[in-house]
Structure 1
C-alpha cells in the first residue's frame, strides 16, 4: 500500500469511495496502524522480547458482509480495479498480488473454523510501503478486526494478531514473527508494547517522550535492496540451527550470562561463524530489551539512546541486515548529537529511528538529509514517531 499522507483521517473518504465502488454504504470502517520497533529486532521468530509502538499512520478499511462466498477487495493506493476471489476456494501461495494480505486473513479465519462467507472491502493506507513499518500487518489486522466485528466471531486482539500472522506465514508465504501483527492489534496510545513473543504476554509501558523533552524520529531511507529477498528466511533458519545445536527450543532460552559458553559449544559442534553471530545477536538483543525496560521504569529515558546504537552495531555486524543508507543515518545522526539511533524492521533498507532532544530534532534531521545528499542518495523522509492506539473501529 502506498503512503497517502502522514496519518490523516481518511475514514470518510474511504467510506465514500466504498459506496462508489460497491453501490451501497459500508457496514463500518476500521483502522489498524503501522508500527516502529523501539528495540528487539529479529527476536520475535526466536520466541524473544520486543518493544514496538504503533504509529499514527494506518490502514483503513470500509467493509460489508456478503451472503455468498464472493470476496471483493479494492485499494485506493494501488492501480487496478476490484480484485474478486472465491472465499471458499482460496489457495495459499497463489498469485493474488497485494490482495493476498486481506485474502489470507479470510483464509486463516475459515481454516480456524470461523464462518466467514464473503465481504466487500475497500482499503486505503498512510503506512509507507517498503519502509519497515509493517504496512502489510496493518492490512491484515484491519481486515481481521472488521470481519471479527461483522461476523461476531468474538476473537480478542491477540487472537486476531495470531490469525493475521498465519495469513502472512502460510497464505502469503512470508515467514515473519508475530511482533508486527501484535503491535498493530494491541498497542496503546502513549505507550510502547513490551511483548514476550513466546507466550504473548504483554505490558503497556508508558512512553511519553515529550514529557522528558525528547523526540523519536523515524528516518525512512526510501530504499529497499534486493539482497533482502530471501535473507529473512535465511536468518531465521540460521537462528533455528543455533537453537538445535544448543539443545534449546529457541535462542531466547540462552541466558545472557551464558552466551560465551554457548558460543564455545556452537564452535565445538562445528557450527559456522554465521550461526554463532546470529546467536550472539539474538541473545544480546533480548538483553537490550530488558535493559531498556529497566531504564524506562526508572525514568532514565536518555540512557536508552546508547543501547539503540549498540543494537544497530549488532544488526550490522552480527546479523548483517543493515545497508549503507541505514548506517549513514546512524553515523550522521549521532555525529549531530543524537542520543542514539538504529535501524528498525527487517533491514536491507527501510527505516531507522533516532532518539534526540526535542529542541535539536530539526537540526539532526537536517544533518541526516545533508549527509544523504553528500553521499548521492535521494532525500530520506523524516517524521516523529508518536505512540498511537492499536486497531479499532471508526
Structure 2
C-alpha cells in the first residue's frame, strides 16, 4: 500500500513525497453513550485509517488530493479559511485554519490523502483525517503542540469549523491508541489507562450494517436530554455532577427519585454500563476474553432494551453471533441506529463467521452487511520518509 501511494503521489505532483503519516480509525469496545455522562469509555485504535503523503511547494498553495474522492482543491496560504460546502477537504482546511489562528506561519504543501476506513460507518474517518493532518503540520512546521493539544485542536475543528457536536473520544483514541491496548478513558478529566488487550487467538470483526444512519443525531440529542432529566432528579438528594459519579448500588437506593419510567431506563443503562467498563478492563487485564465477551453481550442488551438505540440491523448481528461457538462476544458500537457492530471472533474462523453472519443478515434484512477483520493498532504517527 505504501509503495502504491508514493507512486500515486509522484504521478499527481511529478515529485517524491517527503513524508508519509498514518492515523487510524477507532472502535469503542465497551462503554456506550456514557461519555456525556461523565463516565468511562474503552475505545481502541484499529488497523484501518488515513494515510497522508506530503511535500512542500514554493507556490504558496495548499493542494488537497485524495484517492477516495474526485473533488480536489488548491487553496492559497492566507490568514483565514472558510468551510466549502460538505467537501472532504474541509477537515484538513479546518486544521490549517486552527494552526493559523494560533499564530503559526505555514507554507505551501502538496498533500495526498487515502483512507481505507469505510465512509459513514461510524469508525471515525473524520477524526482520523483531522488528527493525521494536525500531526503532519505539527511535525513539518515544528509548531510545538503536544499530542493532547492536537487532540483538543482536532475536536475544536470538528465542533467549530465542521459544525458537528462530538465529544473528544474519537480524536483521543486515534491519537493515543497503542497496539494491543484498549484505552480506558474518562472523557471529562481525560485521565486514561492503557489496558493490555492481547486478543490472542481472536480478531476484532467489524460488521457495518450498511444502513443509512438518519435517526442517530436526533435520537442522540434526545438521550442527552433524558440523561439531564435523570441527573436533575437525583441531584435533589445526591451531590453529584454526572450520572456516572455513582455506581449501581447507590443508584438503586435513589432511583425512586426518577418518576418518569423512560428516563429511569436511560439512567439505569448509563450507570450499569459505566460499571461494565471497569469490569471489562479487569477481564482484559486478566486475559479473560470469555468474561469480556459476556460483558459485550450485556452491553448490547442494555443498549437495545434500556437505552433503545439499537435497531433490527444491529440486533440481527448480535443475535447471530450468540449462536456461533467461535464468537466470544458481540455488541453494537457507536451512536446506534445503524453504523457498526463488533464481535470477537476466533482468528481461524473469521472467514466462516463473515460468510455466515452475512447470509443470516441478508436473509433477515434484505441487503448485505460489510465485514472486516482488524487488530488493535497504534495511534497516529510518521510512517516513513522514503518509498523504500
Quote the residue 2:147 is aligned against. Answer: 157
Matched, 1:220 2:208: yes
Task: Tell me if structure 2 keeps the 8 A contact 1:220–1:350.
Answer: yes
Quote the residue 2:160 is aligned against. Answer: 170
Task: Tell me if structure 1 keeps the 8 A contact 2:41–2:187.
Answer: yes
Quote the residue 1:208 is aligned against. Answer: 198
Relative distance call for 1:245 and 1:85 in structure 2 (3 A) is farther
- Residue 87 of structure 1, CA deviation: 5.0
- Residue 13 of structure 1, CA deviation: 3.3
- In the TM superposition, what are the counterparts of 1:102-113 in structure 2 within 5 Å? 102-113=92-103
Matched, 1:133 2:134: no
73, 94, 98: which is aligned to 1:82?
73
Matched, 1:291 2:279: yes
Paired with 2:155 and 2:262, the residues of 1 have a C-alpha distance of 27
1:237-275 CA distances to partner (integer Å, 9 max, x unpaired)?
Answer: 4434444454443332233322234532232xxxx5444
Quote the residue 1:4 is aligned against. Answer: none
Q: What runs of 5+ residues in structure 1 fail to find an aligned partner?
A: 1-8
Q: What runs of 5+ residues in structure 2 fail to find an aligned partner?
A: 384-388
Task: Tell me if structure 2 keeps the 8 A contact 1:35–1:183.
Answer: yes
When normalised by structure 1's length, the TM-score is 0.87
Matched, 1:191 2:181: yes
1:298-357 CA distances to partner (integer Å, 9 max, x unpaired)?
Answer: 232211111101111122223222121111000011022333210112222121111234
Relative distance call for 1:86 and 1:264 in structure 2 (3 A) is farther
Paired with 1:222 and 1:335, the residues of 2 have a C-alpha distance of 22
Matched, 1:123 2:113: yes
- Residue 206 of structure 1, CA deviation: 1.8
- Residue 105 of structure 1, CA deviation: 1.7
- Residue 359 of structure 1, CA deviation: 4.8
339, 364, 389: which is aligned to 2:378?
389
230, 236, 241: which is aligned to 1:249?
241
46, 50, 66: which is aligned to 1:59?
50
1:133-165 CA distances to partner (integer Å, 9 max, x unpaired)?
Answer: 111111111001001101112222222112111
- Residue 118 of structure 1, CA deviation: 5.5
Quote the residue 1:48 is aligned against. Answer: 39
1:209-239 CA distances to partner (integer Å, 9 max, x unpaired)?
Answer: 22xx333321122222322243333333443
Quote the residue 1:5 is aligned against. Answer: none
Count residues with an aligned counterpart.
378
79, 83, 90: which is aligned to 1:100?
90
Paired with 1:243 and 1:19, the residues of 2 have a C-alpha distance of 56
Paired with 1:387 and 1:51, the residues of 2 have a C-alpha distance of 12
Give the aligned CA root-mean-square deviation in angstroms. Answer: 2.5
- Residue 85 of structure 1, CA deviation: 6.5
Of 139-148 and 370-379, deviating more is 370-379
